[in-house]
Amino acid sequence: MTVIVEHTEPETIERFDDATRSVDTLDIDGKVLSTRPYTVEENAAADQRVAQAALDSEHAATHERVKAIITELQAEKARVQSAIDATNATINASPAGFIKDNARAAKRIADAAIDLAKFVDGR
């Protein structure tokens, strides 16, 4: 709920409530003196704020999902780097395990890249 408070006169306050689409006029002690519905212009402004809040929320969710996918890719990149940094002795000691671990890392990278592509495509 968006509430906007404006001081209209030194002794009164107007409180705009987008949830109820009403304006309360209060005295300085907070007592409601009168209530009226939004005007056409106030309704249009409230609609715009509600739409913007929805867009902001959608953008934040998109941003968080992309960040999560990037984090997955960075983790897999670190695993692949450890394979690059491995000595031949380490690789030769257990080549099957080494190959399988790297194949799994490559698969996770591909899965994360596919997730990102689907997300960007809107699927």
Q: Where are the domains of the chain?
A: 3-38, 59-121
Average pLDDT over residues 68-84: 82
Whole-model pTM: value is: 0.57
The pLDDT, as a whole number, for residue 24 is 93
Average pLDDT over residues 85-113: 85
Q: Of how many residues is the chain composed?
A: 123
d(CA 49, CA 85): 53
Percentages (nearest 5) of helix, strand, coil residues in the chain: 65, 20, 15
pLDDT at 4 over 70: no
Higher pLDDT, 71 or 2: 71
Tens digit of each residue's pLDDT (9 = 90 or more) over 6-54 = 666 678 888 999 999 999 998 888 899 999 999 999 999 999 999 999 9
Instruction: Look at 3-17, 91-105, 108-122 and tell me which has the smallest mean pLDDT.
Output: 3-17
Contacts with 65 (C-beta within 8 Å, 6 or more apart), sequence order? 119
DSSP code at position 123? -
